[in-house]
Chain A
């Protein structure tokens, strides 16, 4: 009977609309065949510590403030101590203004790694363990830290500890300590837009955690090589391993 058919159609339609995932930002074109969100593409932008989420604040501790004041002293020379000038890594979340890629690996049967490839800065990569492992107990401090990741719906979540204290968050010199813990959330909003949120927690350097909301856009083309050390004439300003003042 027509009434029953209409009722069935309505039920089916309602079910379709309510099923999770449908109508989400990552439509079929933005998914890998296995259903994971597709992060492929050449991205440009995002990162850094500008764009603090409304309601959050970046409040330096006295420890951090002293370092920041030293680095930003207009009569000082600390600007030349920026590790970037010595072709050392930018760490997280500082980004050079060059493109980058998120490289997912096949489900075999599970995804083992995701790599973030950087064109700029030191033309290197970040490695994210996707196999469900926990963080190690006391990782050796490194420039990019130890990252573990997982998906929450269409969002890639990356949790990182084990940073050294040698990178600057910004060119001004916002510092951080080895206590830094970041949680990043990558979401492909549409075909050309990537939302990249970074929550920074570092009780030694900042009074409370804060979240930065940034965005990357698709750039046409490919990664180019960028070997910072091939003609870095800043050599005259180099002085030993990157270190905080007083170390």
Chain B
């Protein structure tokens, strides 16, 4: 179900951890392309609250009416928990707008460190985008 009243935040809230600032892990740029930005709105079908990366899957309905399930990657459980998030933050059935960086290999996978915003405007998982 599309939600037209989303507030879209493109600015990132940077959370400084006590550690030295982590450079963008090379695995990020090996797998994802920061120049291929996507923005979609859809319904969460599954949340995998796991390490090394939390993942969540979103059904996105295209203009042609076809539903595509996207696989989004976030930071680790450990990083998200220390930034104040819990596994209840996102659930199947939630409607979200995601700004993400596409996988280089053309698959339906992207890195959602751009932005994840719920239908009610809550920005989720904001934190150091370069953290693991």
* Residues of A bordering B, CB below 8 Å: 44-45, 77, 79-80, 82, 84-85, 87, 96-98, 119-120, 171-172, 217-219, 221, 224, 226-228, 230-234
Contact = CB atoms under 8 A, between A and B. Distances in A.
Q: From DSSP, what is the main secondary structure of chain A's interface residues?
A: loop
Contacts of A82: 26-27
Given A224-B81, A227-B51, A230-B51, A85 B27 contact: yes
A51 to B, nearest CB: 9
B14 interface: no
A97 B52 contact: no
B22 interface: yes
Contact of A87 (B17, B26, B52, B132): B52
Given A230-B51, A231-B50, 9 more contacts: A82-B27, A97-B132, A120-B78, A171-B23, A217-B18, A221-B82, A224-B82, A227-B51, A233-B53
Most A CB atoms within 10 A — which of B26, B31, B52, B78?
B52
Most B CB atoms within 10 A — which of A218, A226, A227?
A226
Q: From DSSP, what is the main secondary structure of chain B's interface residues?
A: loop
Given A171-B25, A231-B51, A226 B76 contact: yes
B27 A231 contact: no
B78 A119 contact: yes
Nearest to B25: A171
Contacts of B29: 79
* Closest 5 A/B residue pairs (Cβ): A231-B50, A79-B30, A171-B26, A45-B19, A224-B78
Contacts of A231: 48, 50-53, 55
Contacts, number: 63
Given A82-B27, A119-B78, A226 B51 contact: yes
B57 to A, nearest CB: 12
B20 interface: yes
Interface in B1-60: 17-20, 22-23, 25-27, 29-31, 48, 50-53, 55
A170 to B, nearest CB: 9
Interface residues of B, number: 25
Contacts of B124: none
A218 B19 CA distance: 9
Nearest to A217: B18
A227 B48 CA distance: 14
Interface in B114-128: none
A146 to B, nearest CB: 28
Contacts of A218: 18
A239 to B, nearest CB: 14
B27 to A, nearest CB: 6
A228 B52 CA distance: 5
B48 to A, nearest CB: 6
B105 to A, nearest CB: 9
Contact of A79 (B22, B26, B132): B26
Contacts of A230: 50-51
A99 to B, nearest CB: 9
Contact of B26 (A172, A219, A224): A172
B131 interface: yes
A52 to B, nearest CB: 15
A97 B17 CA distance: 10
Contacts of A219: 18
